[in-house]
Amino acid sequence: MSEPLLTCEQALAEACGRIGSESPRLDAELLLAEVTGWSRTRFRAFPETELTDKQLEHFRHLVARRSMGEPIAHILGHQDFWSLTLEVTSDTLIPRPDTECLVEAALELELPERARVIDLGTGTGAIALALLRERTGWQVLAADLVPAAVALARRNAERCGLPLTVIRSHWFDEVEPQQFDLVISNPPYIEEGDRHLSRGDVRHEPDSALVSGSDGLDAIRHLVTESQHWLTPGGWLVLEHGYNQGEAVRSLFRTAGYSGIETRRDYGDNDRLTLGRWH
Ligand SMILES: C[S@@+](CC[C@H](N)C(=O)[O-])C[C@H]1O[C@@H](n2cnc3c(N)ncnc32)[C@H](O)[C@@H]1O
């Protein structure tokens, strides 16, 4: 005997009981939207709509993956960032909403109409593509060490129809000699062995995107020092960092000789980025 059909609301209620995340209802709605191709508004407007056997089977399979802790973005294969929908894979970080604060900070700077910009450790290409979406005159270069991330950022540039050049490089090592008005990066900044590495989505993301030495600051130290050789006079360095690293990062900027140094907070009111200007 075949199982009775479930309505959207019944399927969502069943899923909420299985998904052990912090946002079971949202997760379940996103998965059901993926399976049915319907918007989340439609489930709310027509909760009694019945799912087909095939839809229910597919939905339960995705719910099982989520209940094992797999990130929603990996299950869906995409993640929204800024006004873009980006492909994501397990080769790099899933773009986080707080990283949009870097994009906002960069857009507030007084930069030339045809500003030259580099996004180091671009991952999905999130920061670089959001900047290009807002400033069509900017010339944006992006780099990542991991070949699969380079390929991913190139696919995302194509998907968004934005003219981003992506190269494989250990920070500036493979970049042609030139000067930039803006160097921007969300580098790895978690301490080796940090307890956060064994929790939530982070367990499914590669160390290459997360970890940077015993105090988490190896990459940031390198970028603060190296960027001096690549910035135009008056050019800006904008770096994301951990909620507890603001003071240490400002001190690195000061020691290196940047001015206008400022740390800004994210949507959760935590220190999240520091910027400074090179003379
Ligand atoms: C925290 S993730 C940020 C990804 C993306 N920019 C974002 O904000 O979502 C850091 C990225 O830096 C890259 N990365 C790590 N070490 C690097 C290096 N030495 N040179 C260039 N990229 C590096 C990683 O592969 C990863 O994609």
- Number of Cβ atoms within 10 Å of the Cβ of 207: 11
Q: Which atom of ligand 1 is nearest to the CA of 222?
A: 19
Separation of CA 185 and ligand 1 centre (Å): 8
Q: Ligand 1 site: residues with CB under 6 angstroms?
A: 92-93, 95, 99, 120-124, 126-127, 143-146, 149, 170-171, 186-188, 208-209
Topology of the domain comprising 8-69: Helicase, Ruva Protein; domain 3 (1.10.8)
Report residue 71 as tokens: 């990130």
Separation of CA 209 and ligand 1 centre (Å): 5
Separation of CA 125 and ligand 1 centre (Å): 10
- Which of 85, 92, 184, 191 to mutate for ligand 1's pocket (most ligand atoms within 8 Å of CB)? 92
Phi, psi angle pair for 268, to nearest 5°: -95, 10
Q: What is the pLDDT of residue 138?
A: 98
What is the spatial distance between Cα 142 and Cα 133, in angstroms, rounded to a whole number? Answer: 14
Q: What is the pLDDT of residue 264?
A: 98
Q: What is the pLDDT of residue 63?
A: 97
State the 10-residue block means of pLDDT for the chain, 279 residues long: 83 95 93 94 92 96 96 96 97 97 98 98 98 98 98 98 98 98 98 90 93 97 98 98 98 98 97 96
pLDDT of 55-96, one tens digit each? 999 999 999 999 999 999 999 999 999 999 999 999 999 999
Separation of CA 246 and ligand 1 centre (Å): 19
- Which of 87, 124, 129, 145 to mutate for ligand 1's pocket (most ligand atoms within 8 Å of CB)? 145
Separation of CA 31 and ligand 1 centre (Å): 28
Closest among 64, 121, 69 to 95, alpha carbons compared: 121
Q: What is the DSSP string of 136-148?
A: TT-EEEEEESSHH
Q: What is the pLDDT of residue 5?
A: 86
Phi, psi angle pair for 88, to nearest 5°: -125, 150
Q: What is the pLDDT of residue 60?
A: 97
- Number of Cβ atoms within 10 Å of the Cβ of 77: 11
Domain range annotation of the chain:
8-69, 81-278
CB of 97 within 8 A of CB of 73?
no
Separation of CA 211 and ligand 1 centre (Å): 10
Contact partners, residue 62, CB within 8 Å, separation at least 6: 31, 34, 35, 75
**Nearest alpha carbon, ligand 1 atom 13:** 121
What is the spatial distance between Cα 134 and Cα 16, in angstroms, rounded to a whole number? Answer: 37
CB of 179 within 8 A of CB of 230?
yes
Q: What is the pLDDT of residue 1?
A: 56
Number of H helices, E strands in the chain: 11, 9
CATH number for the region 81-278 comes to 3.40.50.150
C-alpha distances in angstroms, 275 versus 132, 150, 213, 262?
20, 25, 22, 6
State the first-to-last Cα distance of the chain, in angstroms, to the nearest integer.
76
The region that residue 18 occupies, defined by phi over 0 for left and psi between -120 and 50 for alpha, beta otherwise, is alpha
What is the spatial distance between Cα 186 and Cα 122, in angstroms, rounded to a whole number? Answer: 8
What is the spatial distance between Cα 230 and Cα 178, in angstroms, rounded to a whole number? Answer: 7
